[in-house]
Structure 1
Amino acid sequence: MPKACESTESLGKKAAASGEELASSEDPVQLKRRITLINGVSIIVGSIIGSGIFVSPTGIFKEVNSVGASLLVWVACGVFSFFGAYSYAELGTMIQRSGADYAYVLDAFGPFLGFLRVWCEIIVMRPCGQTIVALTFAKYVLEPIFTGCQAPIITEKLLAALCITIITFANCCSVRASTIIQDVCTWGKTIALLGIIAAGVAQVCRGRVEAFNDAFADTTLGIGNLVRAFYSGLFAYNGWNYLNCVTGEMKNPQRDLPLAIFISCALVTVVYVLANAAYFTTVPVSIFVSTPAVAILFAQKLFGPLAMVMPVFVSLSTFGGVNGIMLTTSRLFYTAAEEGHMPAVLCMIQRKLLTPLPAVLLVGLLSLVYLVADDIYMLMNYMGFVNWLAIGLSVFIVLYFRITRPLAPRPIRVPIVFPVVYTLLTVLLCTNTFIGAFQESVMGILIILTGIPVYLVGVAWQRKPTSLLKASSSFTRLVQKLFLVQLEDKDAD
């Protein structure tokens, strides 16, 4: 596919050539295929399992109003997420490049819709999401210190900033460092959840099964209730598509991508359902619907003083979540820059470290900027409708390619029912959201529309003034000299 902004890429290449004397290396300057199957599982599991399963899994129960129906919704959300994730496996093995949703929309529908997709991710969704997870990390690190009272907001923000800074530094230094962080955090929080499940099994052995007697009594099955319950559950499963952002860095994507998706979705679904069942063995239903931190209350009732360990595990979980977002989002910026949809400097690689350093720094900077905002959660609410609409569009591309590219190589060919069911249910969810949360949906659409003038000026406008081109080239050279970065060696073996 031709680049969307040839003049920008040309400037980047000239600037890269002018910076050849900055450093030398025997190895080609390019992102290496270093992500293994285990790393892939860690990225998906680590991105999915955040603070939600520890902090507040009450949203589903409030809507369906019974233990049995609540657990069934958790299962259904896991199966639904697997349908979407496995559909992404077909796309990820057809289009073996980093970028996930952006790369697929770009390939299917062209640069305009591709740019709008990445614009939403860049302007709000990824940096806001990372900031929120970092703030959750700070809250639970401070929990043992400020027991019984609220920590000062400035303290939380400073600790969140430290978290983002550490993760940014690690991702700048080494892909290996970021995957090690992801592996450690993923298995740490998985062990914590397995501990909760083991405690739940012990409770069942003691006969604490009152909550499961007549488990479906008083179930509420209204369409609106079910849709809202699904939204709560799908929020907890969000992140299953993050591995597709780094497909280009996987050692064997044709084999490992679908395997990692299957293992991760199955593992997370089983762990989520069993952890929620464990909660019901100890936390009374009357309290369950009102507590903001079910896992901590569960630990307090069973472990006494040892319950102070639970905030540590929540912090570990969220720290890994921040790292997962950083790792995948920087590759999204990198891919967009390769297409001319972002400044050329964002697709440059540090010559010694072989990391996309400019893209990583930008993600970290945007996340730090959002810490200044008083209500970044409001922006995330505006983008909820857009997020599921965009993911549904990406899954629909599987069906679109089956019609428009029937003979294209498909290393993974998913059963057609997977993308069909996922697309139809996404339409149902988005329609209900637009009706039930009209203001948030409209604001989300307006945020998308702000990308149109940016596209027209930054990408579609080819004949920019010479003065503007010179200024862009000078900025690119400055960044190269500061960080010793250059364009990837595409011709290297």
Structure 2
Amino acid sequence: MSESENPTSQQSEPEELKLKRQVGLVGGISLIVGTIIGSGIFISPKGVFLNAGSVGAGLLIWFFCGVLSTFGALCYAELGTMIPKSGGEFPILLEAFGPIPAYLFAWTATVVLKPSSLCLLSLTFAKYALTPAYGNCDSVPESATKLVAACLILIVVFINCASVKLSTKVVTFFGIGKILSLIIIIIAGIVRLGQGYTQNFQNSFEGTTPGVREVTLAFYQGLWAFDGWNQLNYVVEELKNPYKTLPRALVASMLIVTGLYLLTNVSYLTVMSLDEILTSNAVAASFGEVVLGFMVWIIPFSVAASVFGTCVGSCFTAGRISYAAAREGHFNQVLAMVHIEHFTPAPAVILNGTIALLMVIPNDFDSLVNYYSFATWAFYFTTCITVLYFRYKMPDRPRPVKVPLPIPIIFSLSSLCLVLAPIIDDPQIQYLIAVVTILLGLVFYIPFVHFKLKSQVIRNFNIFLQKTLMVSLPEETTT
């Protein structure tokens, strides 16, 4: 959280040293789809049906989760084209509300949200990659899971440090793979529908009537599976023709994911009744045992491949948060540096991977991380109300994308409900701990950002990192 010196001696680069615009429309769609579709749709969509109380209500909630996520993506499209800077919510909150809210977002995302997400994804990958060797997920040793997860994180960090093009190609390849995996499930479901397996859809709205609490929890579960729709805002400065690519990629991605999720759930229901879904810990695996026969191994393989692509995409965008914050002087300046040959924010990517590796060590941190999930929706709410704030404060500012006013209103109110509902329903000390952890960022903000306290030790350490990692400050701080 302090500044460092510029490199003492650098040869003149043949190219301007800054992040390059290398992500096109296909790469953008792949990044969003590849990040959204992780393990959730394969493993346990039962959370939605459990709280919905019936098949019909569950499918409706899946649909409206897609609609609400699309509303959020449209709000971010307006904000991302209005403030075309990388870093996701950070530059938006910085311009709307000033440095402290922006810093707290960057602090929370960098220290907790993004690394914990990468860690959990890597552990999921390890468990399913090792399943064929041990028979089932429950038999996989914890030590083997952690070792494979750590190796995966190192591979993901290397890919994201090596090349932006390589990262997007990997995400695109595995994005296509996970879509094909879902299509296999969908085709199998269509075949079974044609064979007359429709009994689970009869009287589909019969069952328990969900209350406000149950509907909220069902949405919470479904929206978790859709999380990742905002990923392209983290790399706005690396998009080719961002004013067109950003909104088109966001809308196309949400249509693809919503359609795939609905059809996949329909396919599950051609094999399993509602009660069977609610008792299964891995719905796709249960589906595969009935439909795929000797090809049942394709489910754990698909989950592992899907999660690998999601890990690469998650790490790709996570590094841009601390990079954007450091560029504004909120984080250690070395995090704002770019590799002089690969043009990637290597220090920021390595930081994300390092924290994720540390999170692999504890025996059980999942329960703690879950209490931070509401922070994600708190920042979604805060960010989307800036659409309304900017409309009032800056009505004449150019907006290449301008969404209808009801969209940010609906999304903001929905986000606020998702933040408050779990706290009101079951207030626990962990939520207070999470808030305190977020505010703990002020301990670093006040001396190092507000008062610009400098340390020669940190300065020397930064110079060492610059030489070791072969990084330097970009020639331009914005594009």
TM superposition score category, shorter chain reference: over 0.9
d(CA) in 1 for partners of 2:48, 2:122: 24
Deviations 1:178-213 (A, max 9, x none): 111100111100010011000000000000000111
Task: Report the Cα offset of residue 284 of structure 1.
Answer: 2.6
2:450 alignment partner in structure 1: 460
> Would the aligned equivalents of 1:19 and 1:481 in 2 still touch at CA under 8 Å?
no
Q: Indicate whether 1:383 and 2:359 are aligned.
A: no
Q: Indicate whether 1:40 and 2:28 are aligned.
A: yes
d(CA) in 2 for partners of 1:247, 1:68: 38
Q: Indicate whether 1:100 and 2:88 are aligned.
A: yes
Task: Report the Cα offset of residue 431 of structure 1.
Answer: 2.0
1:451 alignment partner in structure 2: 441
Between stretches 266-275 and 381-390, larger displacement belongs to 381-390
Question: CA 1:390–1:491 in structure 2 vs 1: closer, same or farther (change >3 Å)?
Answer: closer
1:59 alignment partner in structure 2: 47
Read off the aligned partner of 1:473 and give its amino acid letter.
Answer: R
2:316 to 315, 319, 327: 327
Read off the aligned partner of 1:86 and give its amino acid letter.
Answer: L
1:300-319 aligned within 5 A: 300-319=289-308
Question: CA 1:243–1:437 in structure 2 vs 1: closer, same or farther (change >3 Å)?
Answer: farther
2:181 alignment partner in structure 1: 192
Q: TM-score, normalised by structure 2?
A: 0.97
> Would the aligned equivalents of 1:172 and 1:356 in 2 still touch at CA under 8 Å?
yes
Q: Indicate whether 1:123 and 2:111 are aligned.
A: yes
- Secondary structure of the structure 2 residue equivalent to 1:203: helix
Q: Indicate whether 1:221 and 2:207 are aligned.
A: no
Matched pairs, number: 477
d(CA) in 2 for partners of 1:492, 1:108: 18
- Secondary structure of the structure 2 residue equivalent to 1:35: coil
2:56 to 43, 59, 68: 68
Moved over 3 A (4+): none
d(CA) in 2 for partners of 1:132, 1:57: 17
1:164 alignment partner in structure 2: 153
d(CA) in 2 for partners of 1:471, 1:426: 43
Read off the aligned partner of 1:331 and give its amino acid letter.
Answer: R
2:458 to 467, 472, 480: 472
> Would the aligned equivalents of 1:44 and 1:240 in 2 still touch at CA under 8 Å?
yes
Read off the aligned partner of 1:229 and give its amino acid letter.
Answer: A
- Secondary structure of the structure 2 residue equivalent to 1:144: helix
1:112 to 100, 113, 125: 100
> Would the aligned equivalents of 2:337 and 2:474 in 1 still touch at CA under 8 Å?
yes
2:419 alignment partner in structure 1: 430
Residue ranges of structure 2 left out of the alignment (5+ in a row): none
Deviations 1:111-170 (A, max 9, x none): 111111111111211000110000000010011111045111010000001111111111
What root-mean-square deviation, in Å, do the aligned CA atoms of Structure 1 and Structure 2 show?
Answer: 1.4
2:391 alignment partner in structure 1: 402
- Secondary structure of the structure 2 residue equivalent to 1:386: helix
Read off the aligned partner of 1:460 and give its amino acid letter.
Answer: H
Q: Indicate whether 1:441 and 2:427 are aligned.
A: no
Task: Report the Cα offset of residue 452 of structure 1.
Answer: 1.5
Q: TM-score, normalised by structure 1?
A: 0.94
Task: Report the Cα offset of residue 376 of structure 1.
Answer: 2.2
> Would the aligned equivalents of 1:386 and 1:441 in 2 still touch at CA under 8 Å?
no
Question: CA 1:448–1:492 in structure 2 vs 1: closer, same or farther (change >3 Å)?
Answer: closer
d(CA) in 2 for partners of 1:130, 1:77: 23
Question: CA 1:492–1:418 in structure 2 vs 1: closer, same or farther (change >3 Å)?
Answer: closer
Task: Report the Cα offset of residue 429 of structure 1.
Answer: 2.1
Question: CA 1:311–1:491 in structure 2 vs 1: closer, same or farther (change >3 Å)?
Answer: closer
2:344 to 351, 355, 364: 355
Task: Report the Cα offset of residue 446 of structure 1.
Answer: 1.4
1:153 alignment partner in structure 2: 142
> Would the aligned equivalents of 1:349 and 1:487 in 2 still touch at CA under 8 Å?
yes
- Secondary structure of the structure 1 residue equivalent to 2:338: strand
Residue ranges of structure 1 left out of the alignment (5+ in a row): none
Between stretches 35-44 and 443-452, larger displacement belongs to 443-452
